[in-house]
Amino acid sequence: MAKIEVQNHSNLGMLWCAGWLFTLGYLQLGFWKGILAMLVWPYFIGASLVAL
């Protein structure tokens, strides 16, 4: 039988959520703009990290 290994990556998810909430608060976005930010924010973070 093969061993099954379970990995927990909740720290990265919590960091992403904290960054998203910080962005919403810092920019004083409303609900719908916050939903849009949730969809677009990871793209811009990834694009800026690739540009480094």
Q: What was the pLDDT predicted at 29? A: 80
Question: How does residue 39 score in pLDDT terms, banded at 50, 70 and 90?
Answer: confident
- CA–CA gap between residue 44 and residue 46 (Å, rounded): 5
Residue 27: which residues within 8 A CB-CB, separation 6 or more?
37
Report percent pLDDT > 90 for the chain: 0
| pTM for the structure as a whole | 0.47
Is the pLDDT higher at 34 or at 51? Answer: 34
In percent, how much of the chain has pLDDT > 70?
98
Asked whether the predicted pLDDT for residue 9 surpasses 80, the reply is no
Name the percent of the chain in helix, strand, coil, to the closest 5.
75, 0, 25
